[in-house]
Homo-oligomer: A and B are copies of this chain.
């Protein structure tokens, strides 16, 4: 479950956000000011930070600036109506969203969800539409794979696995790494599961199975 760091000097606000967030199943942590937030981020990774601007000790945007030196945690800024928006948005860091106080907790939660879903990858604009290797074509947006023009019936796992291999083409990937990245960190199962899926993927790819190379004692890689 995603972990949210809530930073606000008003205990009331923190409580409200916390309650709603936990009801949604998120884990929460709190900080009273920017300084505390920075320290907490040093020690731990959060999935998203909800940060007020006006705070004693260290204000919200200075805090974000500091945190962003080492991490790329998404941030949603809170600001009181009438506060200086110019300052906020002229700020060199890109925050992911902003919410004006007083806000509805439901709305804030919706935004948190939206930001989390969007994914916080440093550059998500790099999204190729189609990748092809000889007659093997992967349509990423349509989640479709064709072999010499004929649609291949890949199962979800096969597709995910292929996509991950291709995304990391030329790179040796251990079974552990594949399990972690394709299956998810919460998968507790047999290493050999990967083998089976590689087998099925190969059979789905027909002659283009040649791109999937076994690295004995290591794992697999996509080599084109």
B-binding residues in A (CB < 8 A): 12, 15-16, 18-20, 23, 85-86, 88-90, 92, 94-100, 102, 104-107, 110-111, 113-115, 117-118, 125, 139, 141-144, 155-157, 170-172, 176, 180, 185-186, 188, 215-218, 221, 223
Contact = CB atoms under 8 A, between A and B. Distances in A.
A113 B216 CA distance: 23
Nearest to A221: B142
A90 B19 contact: yes
Contacts of A144: 172
Copies in the complex: 2
A71 B207 CA distance: 52
Contacts of A217: 155-157
B15 A216 contact: no
Given A141-B170, A180-B114, A218-B156, A15 B85 contact: yes
